[in-house]
């Protein structure tokens, strides 16, 4: 059995360290690179994800691969706004990331009272069964060693009726645009990574990991196999990114 690391097949025990190394190297410039690579569109995709999740007062929301907290902070703002309107207990948002450097970069951006930060593995969360009201993973599922195990773990920690959302790069739908998208991905993104983050190889890996990640329908089938119901997905930017949703029923 092997795991994917970009276009390489590696020993599953080796992948976590390789991925950790990538994100340790880019953590300091990660947010700037996101803006440059997506021309700021990642902010709109994350806004749409937070609105779809619809955080409520008193909920426990697990944000896996939470990085520097882009989604977690959005959840906190929406939950606060809902609490201002109708009262209730504060939401609790657990931002979990495998990489301590990313967590440190997120903490350095400032604190939200609702957010708790933790270094942890999406495949083995330190949480009891059926404890969370919602679970999100944004641009992180493709970096885990075993996607099916991460999905099973998400299902395990969700309460009955809990919401699951995965925002991830996917497959561009218009075939005529794929050569242009490939040229941008494999030539321009590593070049930007070299100039801005000082690391072309890290961003070459990120592009390769996108290409080897399951497409929209394959991921939907994996979610259903993990026990999620009413699975659906919404394409953004013609399928460059897709938002997958399921329910723990």
Domain residue spans in the chain? 3-248
Q: Within the chain, what is the greatest distance between any pair of CA atoms?
A: 52
Locate tokens 């919401």: which residue? 163
Q: Confirm if 116 and 90 have CB atoms less than 8 A apart.
A: no
Q: Which fold has domain 3-248?
A: Rossmann fold (3.40.50)
What are the C-alpha distances in Å from 207 to residues 19, 37, 104, 201, 203? Answer: 13, 11, 24, 10, 6
Locate tokens 């996917």: which residue? 170
Q: What is the pLDDT along the chain (249 residues), one digit of tens a residue?
A: 787 877 788 888 888 888 777 777 767 777 776 777 788 899 999 999 999 999 999 999 999 999 899 999 999 999 999 999 999 999 999 999 999 988 998 999 888 999 999 999 999 999 999 999 999 999 999 999 999 999 999 999 999 999 999 999 999 999 899 999 888 888 888 888 888 778 888 888 888 888 999 999 999 999 999 999 999 999 999 999 999 999 998
Whole-model pTM: value is 0.91
């Amino acid at each position: 059995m092997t795991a994917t690391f970009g276009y390489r097949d590696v020993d599953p025990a080796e992948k976590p360290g390789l991925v950790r190394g990538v994100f340790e190297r880019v953590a300091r410039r990660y947010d700037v690179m996101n803006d440059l690579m997506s021309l700021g569109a990642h902010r709109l995709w994350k806004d749409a994800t937070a609105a779809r999740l619809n955080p409520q007062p008193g909920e426990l929301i697990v944000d896996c691969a939470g990085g520097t907290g882009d989604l977690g902070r959005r959840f906190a703002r929406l939950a606060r706004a809902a609490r201002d309107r109708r009262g209730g207990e504060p939401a609790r948002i657990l931002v979990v990331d495998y990489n301590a450097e990313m967590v440190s970069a997120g903490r350095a951006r400032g604190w939200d009272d609702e957010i708790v930060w933790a270094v942890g593995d999406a495949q083995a969360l330190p949480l009891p069964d059926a404890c969370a009201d919602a679970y999100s993973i944004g641009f992180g599922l493709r970096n885990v060693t075993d996607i099916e195990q991460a999905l099973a773990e998400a299902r395990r920690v969700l309460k009955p009726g809990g919401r699951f959302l995965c925002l991830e790069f996917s497959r561009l739908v218009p075939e005529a645009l794929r050569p242009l998208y490939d040229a941008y991905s494999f030539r321009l993104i590593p070049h930007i990574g070299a100039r801005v983050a000082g690391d072309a190889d890290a961003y070459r890996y990120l592009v390769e990991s996108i290409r080897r990640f399951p497409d929209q329908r394959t991921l939907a089938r994996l979610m259903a196999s993990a026990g999620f119901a009413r699975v659906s997905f919404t394409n953004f930017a013609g399928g460059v990114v897709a938002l997958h949703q399921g329910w723990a029923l």
